[in-house]
Amino acid sequence: MMSLSPSLGSPYPWLRELKSEERGLYLIHLLLTCTNHVASGNLENANMALEQISHLASPDGDTMQRIAAYFTEALADRILKAWPGLHKALNSTRLVMVSEEIMVRKLFFELFPFLKVAFVLTNQVIMEAMEGEKMVHIIDLNAAEPAQWIALLQVLSARPEGPPHLRITGVHQQKEILDQMAHKLIEEAEKLDIPFQFNPVVSKLENLDFDKLRVKTGEALAISSILQLHSLLTSDDEAMRRRTPLLTKCSNGSHLQRAVPMNQSSLGDLLEKDNRYSPSPDSASSSPASSIASMNMEGFLNALWGLSPKVMVVTEQDSNHNGSTLMERLLEALYSYAALFDCLESTVSRTSMERLKVEKMLFGEEIKNIVACEGAERKERHEKLDKWLQRLDLAGFGNVPLSYYGMLQARRLLQSYGCEGYKMREENGCVAICWQDRSLFSVSAWRPRK
Amino acid sequence: MAELENPSSMAVSAASGEASFSSSGVQNEPGELPPPKKKRNLPGMPDPDAEVIALSPKTLLATNRFVCEICNKGFQRDQNLQLHRRGHNLPWKLRQRTSKDIRKRVYVCPEPSCVHHNPSRALGDLTGIKKHFCRKHGEKKWKCERCSKKYAVQSDWKAHMKTCGTREYKCDCGTLFSRRDSFITHRAFCDALAEESARTRTLTIGEASEGNSNAKVAMASPPQPPLTPSTSVVSPALSIQSSVSENPIRLSPPSSNVKCLPATTVANSTPSCSTTVFASIFASSSAAPSQASSTLSSYSTMMSNLPCSDCPTTTPTLSAIEPTSLSLSPSLYLSNNDSSLFQDQRDPRHYTATPQPALSATALLQKAAQMGAAASNASLLRGLGLAPATSLAQNDSTPTQWNSCIKTENHPLPDDDGLMLGIPSAGNTGFANLMMGSSSFGGQPMTRDLLGLSIGGSGGGASVRGGLSALLTSFGGRFDVAGSSTGGRNAPAED
């Protein structure tokens, strides 16, 4: 903690005397200052800001302290990317354990109502669309949480006309997760005596081979996309950058300069306002082979349209974390994650390990991605609902307003959660799930327009 | 001829003696002749040239109307009879159905008290008269499982089964609709009320009947209800109690389908099944955030119709009352017009927004934004509302590539990189003092930092100290100053 020369005593005695509110305000100020420095390439100043923050921020303090901790880590990560060797070295021994990832996802599902509400709404839309259908095929673009489909199975088995023959195609990057899902769902279907089939597709979304989905013409198809579509915007960014030779040139140039980092002006170039640089030379952008296979948003949506689903339900984060400049993104992210951290503060104790894990391994990573990464690396490109409405409309989808029943169920679920901060509101037939006034997630239903 | 057409009635008539034939065309009294081109008669007005057939009840109810004259075997359908007759190897002449003269036939109902007994109200379709007779004068043998509606005609029953329970709309206030349009119309008026009631739940449950609630909700501007005074804290307990007592009554009749709510609410069982199943699955599967756990358990136990009694006040009323929302009295809606209720409601929310003495992060951000809202000419900072104080608004010195990212045209952003929160007040805290202290800077080009974070503060050139060590030493010097914690900081730019 004491990075200064040992001859100094505690450098900021007055810092400790700050009350929580003042400290919070100070932290905000410091964060923004630091971001400014980073954005303008002012490493030394950024460093000092980080230093100051380090005395105040803490992952197990109050909300603002926690947020500051993760944001500064992200900012530091961003700065460090200018030294790719250093950056890689520091990250070389990182362990990525699938079990941890699964656990964190489960925690997100349990500690927050967002996923549950999304599931309830999605399932209700599917139920309504599939009334009277005898064969139902569902494509889950992020097959990680069996609870959603277990609930659907239970409701389907109680249908007056009896359950349909259900086929679920689950897409996910990790085979283990798909195996687990298959196991749980098949078990449930057997219990309920529903003819059921689970087809796993191990793939990233951007490389998804639509043939593997095995959609039969004319079958009753439903698509569920929960917090997945935004990562496809990455490829859009890539495509745009490749089209602009100037920027590419710039990025190449700075690549060379990166090897000699100590010149401040070069740093300034690197961390330039355009913020369109490739952080590491071997990112996907510079290797054409991988980018050919990856689809961009338009292509993906068109492909989905081409499957002729009866209905598609899209759940996305409802915040603009895809701004072109660092400062824009950081400001938005501050607000969104402040709301998310507040949720936890209001519902979970500060000493809870689960809370810490969610904050660090889920939110912390998202923040890092939003703040520190650019180009192909930056996957967390959340956007606001109106952008999604436009995009889906452009791709030939018409909005299907969520039914009163669906919203009623979702509202009841939120209410049963027992925390008054969670709210839900309807906008243009879509649902926005909020914490106090801040909209965090949106759910909307679509069907291909004729 | 008549035999072929109505063989069974022939056979029956001997026994029942009721059958009568009037084979001549009956001129009907309501004498207007339908236009000749029309194939279909006006409803209720049979073709005057038609042959009126009166069949006996037995005939109408009989299922094997068509009887083979050779072997007396009965068939439900004429085609089946014809097929069968082929097997008898009839000579050609007898094989033909003698129907040179196809006359339109209309049928009267044998029941004397029935409107259709009168030939002028005869029905044109044989199947129609059979169904009519069955429906009106027959025994209702078919019963719907869900809603206990009885039907005499099997096809009626089947048609009902297709729609029963699948398309039931239930408003929050408890009114049931089978039609979507009427439901939506109702909901437009009821929605606001329903939401309020869902949130407050502080009133006792008065009248329990749905009929009452319907009637009262229909009232546009209800007068002050007697229950309004009871919006105080006492009522939640009462409302819980009464809802608890209501619950068993409402939900107790067991049904075979364990998953759905029991029989009394069976009319809307399917949608609410899914409601409770979905929600309860998710509710019960969620981990127990400390405050929410008891609520969740109460929600899932709602399935067994008994909300737990020791739940925190606000939420269990929600979950406990939720299936019985129909029983909630109109007083809930009425009292929502009461502003005091609204205020009550606001406070808890406001309270929970700041559970700890510390402000929530969201509140902090808003506060920071407000504090800097004055005199912001930097669009960057405008985002958060943090702007330089007016004294520093010179902006004439070299803009760094500060936030040219943010489209400021050539609006030079404040070279002050410190985002002053613009606290004008004299510092009561060390923090504020810091801010104030550094506002004494003149137009430093770049790195004049409010908090003295910048080294050597001044312009691009001088700022490179060449290494972290210099950074640290300059840092160190300054910190002694900073350590004093009250204003009066030296401008860090020197050095």
Question: What is the DSSP secondary-structure string of B71-137?
Answer: T--EESSHHHHHHHHHTT---HHHHS---SS---EEEE-S-TTSGGGSGGG-BS-HHHHHHHHHHHH
Task: Tell me how far apart the alpha carbons of residues B107 and B119 are, in angstroms, rounded to a whole number.
Answer: 8
Model ipTM over 0.95: no
Q: Is the pLDDT of residue A321 over 60?
A: yes
Calculate what percentage of chain A has a pLDDT beyond 90: 66
Q: Is the pLDDT of residue A144 over 60?
A: yes
Q: To which H or E segment does residue B191 belong? A: helix B180-200
Q: Per-residue pLDDT tens for B62-81?
A: 667 778 888 888 888 888 88
Per-residue pLDDT band at B41 (split at 50, 70, 90): low
Task: Tell me how far apart the alpha carbons of residues B59 and B66 are, in angstroms, rounded to a whole number.
Answer: 10
Average pLDDT estimate for B462-466:
33
CB contact under 8 A, A416 and B315: yes
Q: Which residues contact B164 (CB under 8 A, 6 or more apart)?
A: A160, B144, B146, B147, B149
Q: Per-residue pLDDT tens for B432-462?
A: 334 433 333 333 333 334 333 333 333 333 3
Q: Is the pLDDT of residue B217 over 50?
A: no
- The alpha-carbon gap from B134 to the nearest alpha carbon of chain A, in Å, equals 27
Name the residue in chain A with its Cα closest to that of B312.
A418
Pairwise pLDDT comparison (B108 vs A116), residue with the higher score: A116
Task: Tell me how far apart the alpha carbons of residues A159 and A126 are, in angstroms, rounded to a whole number.
Answer: 13
- The alpha-carbon gap from A83 to the nearest alpha carbon of chain B, in Å, equals 16
Picking from A327, A417, A443 by the largest number of B CB atoms within 10 A of its own CB, the best residue to mutate is A417
Q: Per-residue pLDDT tens for B82-124?
A: 888 888 877 665 555 544 455 677 788 888 888 788 777 778 7
Instruction: Provide the residue count of chain B.
Output: 495
Task: Among A359-363, B6-10, B397-401, name the one with the lowest average pLDDT.
Answer: B397-401
Picking from A25, A83, A416, A438 by the largest number of B CB atoms within 10 A of its own CB, the best residue to mutate is A416
Task: Tell me how far apart the alpha carbons of residues B287 and B63 are, in angstroms, rounded to a whole number.
Answer: 62
Q: Is the pLDDT of residue A119 over 80?
A: yes
Task: Tell me how far apart the alpha carbons of residues A254 and A259 are, in angstroms, rounded to a whole number.
Answer: 9
If phi > 0 it is left, if psi is from -120 to 50 it is alpha, else beta; for residue A308 that is left
CB contact under 8 A, B274 and A124: yes
Per-residue pLDDT band at B242 (split at 50, 70, 90): very low
Residues on chain B touching A328 (C-beta within 8 angstroms): 383, 405-406
DSSP single-letter state for residue B411: -
Average pLDDT estimate for A228-236:
87
Return mean pLDDT, chain B: 52
Return mean pLDDT, chain A: 84
Q: Is the pLDDT of residue A201 over 60?
A: yes
Residue B45 confidence (pLDDT): 59
Picking from B286, B317, B434 by the largest number of A CB atoms within 10 A of its own CB, the best residue to mutate is B286
Per-residue pLDDT band at B278 (split at 50, 70, 90): low
Per-residue pLDDT band at B231 (split at 50, 70, 90): very low
CB contact under 8 A, A5 and B476: yes
**Residue listed under structure tokens 């639509």:** A210
- The alpha-carbon gap from B385 to the nearest alpha carbon of chain A, in Å, equals 11
Residue B492 confidence (pLDDT): 41
Picking from B282, B318, B436 by the largest number of A CB atoms within 10 A of its own CB, the best residue to mutate is B282
Residue A234 confidence (pLDDT): 86
Pairwise pLDDT comparison (A243 vs B459), residue with the higher score: A243
Q: Is the pLDDT of residue B353 over 70?
A: no
Average pLDDT estimate for A5-11:
41
Calculate what percentage of chain A has a pLDDT beyond 70: 84
Task: Tell me how far apart the alpha carbons of residues B394 and B445 are, in angstroms, rounded to a whole number.
Answer: 10
Pairwise pLDDT comparison (B266 vs B32), residue with the higher score: B32
Residues on chain B touching A412 (C-beta within 8 angstroms): 275, 279, 318-319, 322
Residue B124 confidence (pLDDT): 77
Residues on chain A touching B166 (C-beta within 8 angstroms): 131, 160-161
Calculate what percentage of chain B has a pLDDT beyond 90: 0
Q: Is the pLDDT of residue B248 over 70?
A: no
Task: Tell me how far apart the alpha carbons of residues A349 and B94 are, in angstroms, rounded to a whole number.
Answer: 95
- The alpha-carbon gap from A382 to the nearest alpha carbon of chain B, in Å, equals 18
Across-strand partners of B105?
A: B51
Per-residue pLDDT band at B414 (split at 50, 70, 90): very low
Pairwise pLDDT comparison (B492 vs A57), residue with the higher score: A57
8 Å CB contact between B320 and B240: yes
Per-residue pLDDT band at B226 (split at 50, 70, 90): very low
Per-residue pLDDT band at A418 (split at 50, 70, 90): confident
- The alpha-carbon gap from A29 to the nearest alpha carbon of chain B, in Å, equals 6
8 Å CB contact between A317 and A441: yes
Residue B275 confidence (pLDDT): 46
Please compute Rg for chain B using Cα positions.
43
Task: Tell me how far apart the alpha carbons of residues B490 and B495 are, in angstroms, rounded to a whole number.
Answer: 11
Name the residue in chain A with its Cα closest to that of B423.
A25
Residue B46 confidence (pLDDT): 60
